[in-house]
Chain A
C-alpha cells in the first residue's frame, strides 16, 4: 500500500515520497562488525546501492530492527529495514522522480 506524503517541485519534474512495506531480497556485506547492503531486489527490479547515507536501530522489545538510508546508482532514495528476529528485509520508504 502506498501513501504519497509530499509532492515537492523540481525543475525537471516531481519528487514523491512513498511509505511502502514490501518484502525485498538484499545482498549484504558484513564488514568490521557492520552490515552494508549492496543491492536489493524489489518486485522484479534490482536496485544497485551507490551509497549508504545513514543507518539507525529501533528496538521492539528485545528485537532489534536495523534501518538503512540508501541512495541508488540512479540517485533514487530508499529506506530499508532488517528485522533481526524474523531475519527478513523490507522496503519502507521510496523517494523517486515521479
Chain B
C-alpha cells in the first residue's frame, strides 16, 4: 500500500499575479497569452470563473463573458521562479517529488519520515514498519488518515512561504491522487482509497476521468458506456478491440488502478516530444507569411532539442483555421535529427500537403520520438554532415552567449 499525494496549485498563474500585485485581488482576473495577439486564457481566478471564464478560452471570449475582467499578459519566468520555490518546499516532506507540470506535483509519502510518526504513533501504530503493532499491515484507511496531517502541513508551508494556496488529493496511486485533487477546489484536501474512489466516481460521467476527452466520450457512448462504473465493468477485450492500448488504460483508470511510480525530480522524466505553437495576431492566408512562422517555430524547436540534448525523428505540424478546425499531421524521418532546417523542410511539406487554403489562426510545430543524444543507437544525420553540425554549433554558441534573438533567420522575419 502506498500513499501518493497530488499537489495542485489553485489558479496558479492568476494567484501569482495577485500575490505580486495585491490590487488585483478580489476582482475577476485572467492571465492570457500575448495581448497584442489573439492569445488564449491560461489561468483564471475564482472570481472570473464565476462568469464562465476558463483556461483555453480565447481572450476575446473571456472578455465578452466578463466585461470587467482584468486580463494580464502571462510571464513564464515569473511562474517558473515560484514553481521552483514550491518544489523546494515539497522536498522538505519527501525526496520523492515528481513535478508534473509548472503547477502540479506528485509526492510519494509512503516513506516520508513524518508519516506514521506523530499522528500514527498516537493511534498505537508501528511507525517504522507501517504496521499496526502486532496486528499486521495497516488498513488503507489508516494509512491515508495518517497522511492527512502531512498534507495539511504541506498546504500551510506553501501558504506561509509563497502566500499561495494549494489543493491536495491523496490515494494509493497517482491516478486516484490526481482525481481526488479535482473533487474539491480551492484549498481542498481529499483522501480517497480505491474503494471510496469507486464509490465516488463510478456513478459519474466518463468525461470526468482524467485523460478522457470529448471524442473518446462520444466513442464510449456509442458502445453504451456513459458512466465510470460502466467503463470499469466493460470487458477488457472489447475495449482493447475498439481503442487499442488506450482501452486498457481507460479501464484501469475507471477501476482506480495505476502501477506508475512517482518518479523523483532528480531522476528526470523522459521527454516524449518538444514543440511550440503561435496563435497569430490575425488570421493569415499568405503561404509566404505562414512559411515565415513555420521557420521561426522550427528554429525554436531545434534549438530547444539541442539545448536539452535530444534527437528526434517524427515531425508534426498543427494548423488551426479560422473556423477553429484543427489539423495535426506528422511524418517520420529515416534518421534522428535536431536540425531546424530539416524540421522546417518536413513541416513545410506537411503544410503544403494538408493546408486547405483557409486563413490560419494558429500554427504549431513539434518533434517526437525523442531519444537523448547520448543514448541514440541509430546514426543521426550529423554523423554524415560535419559541416552542417559545425555551423549549427557556431550559431548555438552565439545564442548561448547573447540570447536567442542575437541571430534570427532572414526567412523568419515577417
Contact = CB atoms under 8 A, between A and B. Distances in A.
Interface of A: 3, 5-6, 8-10, 15, 17, 53-63, 67, 69, 71, 75, 77, 95
Contact of A95 (B21, B27, B80): B21
Given A53-B20, A95-B23, A8 B68 contact: yes
A56 B81 contact: yes
Nearest to A15: B23
A58 to B, nearest CB: 5
Contact of B19 (A15, A54, A75): A54
B186 to A, nearest CB: 20
Given A15-B23, A56-B77, A95-B23, A61 B402 contact: yes
Nearest to B73: A5
A69 B20 contact: yes
A8 to B, nearest CB: 4
B78 A67 contact: yes
B300 to A, nearest CB: 15
B136 interface: no
Q: What 7 A-B pairs have minimum CB-CB distances, sorted nearest first?
A: A60-B403, A56-B81, A69-B20, A8-B70, A54-B20, A61-B403, A77-B21
A15 B78 CA distance: 22
Interface residues of B, number: 29
B368 to A, nearest CB: 26
Given A8-B69, A56-B78, A63-B403, A71 B35 contact: no
Interface of B: 16, 19-23, 27, 35-36, 68-73, 75, 77-78, 80-82, 399-406
Given A5-B35, A6-B70, A6-B71, A61 B400 contact: yes
A17 B400 CA distance: 33
B20 A62 contact: no
A31 to B, nearest CB: 18
Given A53-B19, A53-B21, A5 B401 contact: no
Contact of A57 (B73, B77, B399): B77
Contacts of A10: 27
8 contacts: A8-B27, A56-B77, A56-B81, A60-B403, A61-B401, A63-B403, A75-B23, A95-B23
B303 to A, nearest CB: 12
Nearest to B80: A56
A54 B23 contact: no
Contacts of A8: 27, 68-70
Contacts of B399: 61
Contacts of A57: 77, 81
Contacts of A95: 21, 23
B48 to A, nearest CB: 11
A12 B175 CA distance: 48
Nearest to B67: A9
A51 B36 CA distance: 30
Nearest to B70: A8
Contact of B77 (A15, A58, A63): A58
B400 A5 contact: no
B403 A53 contact: no
A62 B404 CA distance: 11
A58 B20 CA distance: 17
Nearest to B36: A3
Nearest to B405: A60
B61 to A, nearest CB: 16
Contact of B71 (A5, A9, A60, A69): A5
A81 to B, nearest CB: 11
A6 B21 contact: no
Contact of A69 (B21, B401, B405): B21
Given A60-B405, A77-B23, 14 more contacts: A6-B69, A10-B27, A15-B23, A53-B19, A54-B20, A54-B82, A56-B75, A56-B81, A57-B81, A61-B399, A63-B402, A71-B21, A75-B23, A95-B23
Contact of B22 (A5, A6, A67, A71): A71
Contacts of B400: 61-62
A15 B402 CA distance: 37
Contacts of A69: 20-21, 78
Given A5-B73, A54-B78, A57-B77, A62 B401 contact: yes
Contacts of B19: 53-54
Contacts of A58: 77
Most buried by B among A8, A9, A15: A8
B22 A60 contact: no
A10 B78 CA distance: 26
A60 to B, nearest CB: 4
